[in-house]
Amino acid sequence: MSFVILNRFIGLYLNIFRTLLSFRLWLPFLLYAILQFLVLLACRYYTHPALYSILSAPVSLLGERQAEIFSHYPGLFILLPTVVQWGKLLIGVIFEGLIIGIGSVLFMRRFDSAGTGPEDRVSAAFSRWMLLQVVWVAITIILLLINWLLPTMLSEYLILSPRRQFVFGIMLRLITVFAFSVFIYAVPSVMVYKNSIAGALKGSVLLFSRYPIFSFFLALVPYLLSVPVSYLLENTPAIVNKFAPVLVFYILTVGIIIDMIINYFVTGTVVKFLLDEKR
């Protein structure tokens, strides 16, 4: 990044750090984190009769063998990250775009109170809920396809080499972050610029093409917070076998808190950037 771009990047983060004590800005992300934690709790206590009768059908989609493992201790903790991830994806399809939209409105009113009007209230995010969700789902599908297609295509090349698998794992994460950075502006722009679905996706690609390295680091820096938790969860069987299986539950809880912080910083920095570009 050039000095000017680096200065701007640091400036965005300084602006966000000044908002950290504003409970109002944290509220949508906190409520969403609580919802994710409830999903985690439901999966943690899956074998409870009241929950088992509700969750056994969706868990069976993992396959008969996997569902059987998940219904017994300590197999439940081995598969807990996978089941929770699918649960978080499900509620994300319904709510995450809305949460980012509400957060975007709150950051808009914080950073540009003079330039916001009645159409920039939290209620506006609810009126654009479907648009926000469609954009979020489109981006999620792209990221899921990358994380499914690339390992599938290279499976024969990777299968016999742990070293290749390790390097590929790092590369896949960077490719995923890169793909996300292309569309990082899309969901907030639905609220900031009142973009349509196509306008949000196209506008984000255009902004990325103007600021590719800046956009990549805008996505990468918050993502780095999640790396330690991701590494631990990749070694879930070792944690279950060598330590207390319930540690997996606590790691996932920490992961939810980190996701909340990431969502806060990504939404805040992107909204501030979009407002600066708007002027």
What per-residue confidence (pLDDT) applies to 118? 64
Q: Which residue has the tokens 């790092």?
A: 170
Q: Are 272 and 20 in contact (CB under 8 A)?
A: no
- What does the pLDDT read at residue 166? 85
What's the token pair of residue 4?
């000017």
Q: What is the number of other CB atoms lying within 10 angstroms of the CB of residue 59? A: 20
**Amino acid identity at 87:** G
pLDDT tens digits, one per residue of 24-46: 999 999 999 999 999 999 999 99
**DSSP for residue 72:** S
Distances (CA, A) of 109 to 25, 99, 105, 260, 279: 10, 16, 6, 20, 15
User: What local confidence, expressed as pLDDT, does residue 116 receive?
Assistant: 64
User: What global pTM score does this model have?
Assistant: 0.93
Please report, for the chain, the start and end positions of each structural domain, with discontinuous segments joined by +.
3-278
- CA atoms 175, 177, 182, 187: torsion sign: positive
Question: Which parts of the chain register pLDDT below 70?
Answer: 1, 114-119
